[in-house]
Amino acid sequence: MRSTPSDYELIAPGKLQTVMSLLAEEPGKWLPIAGGTDVMVQYAAGKLPARKLVSIWNLPELRGIEISAEEIRIGAGCTYTELRDHNVIAREFPLLASAARWTGGIANQNRGTLGGNIVNASPAADSLPALLAYEAELILVSVRGERRAPYLGFHTGYKKMQLAPDELIRAISIRRSFSDYLHYARKVGARNAQAISKVCVAALGQQRHGVVEDVRIALGSVAPIPIRLPDLEREIKRKSVNAELLQLARRMASAAIQPIDDIRSTAKYRAAVAGNLIAEFLEQLGRPRPSGKTND
């Protein structure tokens, strides 16, 4: 059953302050829509429950990528194309650049936004494990002011998040401190392009003198929300990579995730692949290499 256009109201104020006032006056009544790559799929299928839509597409306050000595600040309205083509992101945050290349096709990359990917809250979203690995912060805004929140812990359950009804994501902030890390990004899907992930891994690692000094491992499509594996990370730190550690990593990863059987894959396959990818990452981390090398 398709939607009927007359059942919906869409306005485009053109100013962030006007949008925030609207959300504050009627909390939960208005659905912000940017690129619309997910909203319009629901609409076309007759499954969009929201009836009042407010466009935040191309709001200047939500666009742009700002670079400072300490951090990069990405406007929530930035598209995957902008992320994919930005030289600092490609050089210093290749996990995010890889996710931008993987997401949909060129048309979707031209319209889909990073902020939209976060609030759509799909556990299979390609960019979200990268944000977890980089320990990104979200800059949230409302008529009450602006606040920062760590992205880790932002999603509290399937399609649930710590975002008030009158708040928008204004930007995403990431520290510029990963130049000497190994960056590892892998997506397993039915095709090389325009495929929803069966398993997605984003990982960072740093080793010195044959010992793992720091490690971050994040996964998508293996739980109701994108996840980090803190117990496994703690177990890996201060150890050398060897066959015993690889086997331990596989076992701990399988125990930590909650994959499901669905139309794209099976829980058993997802668990096996997640463990194998994490082992592959650790094998690469254990080898001597030039700094900043990425596998995607």
What pLDDT was estimated at residue 290? 59
* Distance set, CA 284 to CA 61, 132, 218, 272 (Å): 40, 20, 16, 19
157 in Cβ contact with 224 (< 8 Å): yes
* Distance set, CA 238 to CA 115, 210, 215, 288 (Å): 35, 9, 10, 16
Percent of the chain whose predicted confidence (pLDDT) is above 90: 79
Read off the pLDDT band of 296 (50, 70, 90): low
Stronger pLDDT, 291 or 258, i.e. the higher one: 258
* Distance set, CA 18 to CA 24, 53, 74, 166, 237 (Å): 10, 14, 22, 12, 48
What pLDDT was estimated at residue 263? 84
In this model, does residue 288 exceed pLDDT 80?
A: no
pLDDT tens string 35-94: 998 888 888 888 888 789 999 999 999 999 999 999 999 999 999 999 999 999 999 999
CATH code of the region 182-295: 3.30.390.50
Read off the pLDDT band of 2 (50, 70, 90): confident
- What contacts 49, CB < 8 A, 6 or more positions away? none
Percent of the chain whose predicted confidence (pLDDT) is above 70: 96
44 residue type, one letter: A
Whose structure tokens read 């100013």? 15
In this model, does residue 294 exceed pLDDT 60?
A: no
What pLDDT was estimated at residue 292? 47
Domain extent listing, the chain: 7-55, 61-175, 182-295
pLDDT tens string 77-101: 999 999 999 999 999 999 999 999 9
Whether 182-295 and 61-175 are alike in CATH topology: the answer is no
What pLDDT was estimated at residue 48? 87
- What contacts 178, CB < 8 A, 6 or more positions away? 92, 93, 134, 204
In this model, does residue 289 exceed pLDDT 70?
A: no
Whose structure tokens read 């930590």? 256
- Average pLDDT rounded to a whole number, residues 156-178: 96
61-175 maps to CATH 3.40.50.2300:
no
- Average pLDDT rounded to a whole number, residues 196-200: 91
Provide the whole-model pTM: 0.93
Which strands sit side by side in the sheet containing 9-11, from one edge to the other? Answer: 9-11, 52-55, 30-33
Q: What is the mean pLDDT of the chain?
A: 93
Q: What are phi and psi of 224, to 5 degrees?
A: -65, -20
- Cβ-based neighbour number of residue 260 at 10 Å: 14
Stronger pLDDT, 292 or 174, i.e. the higher one: 174
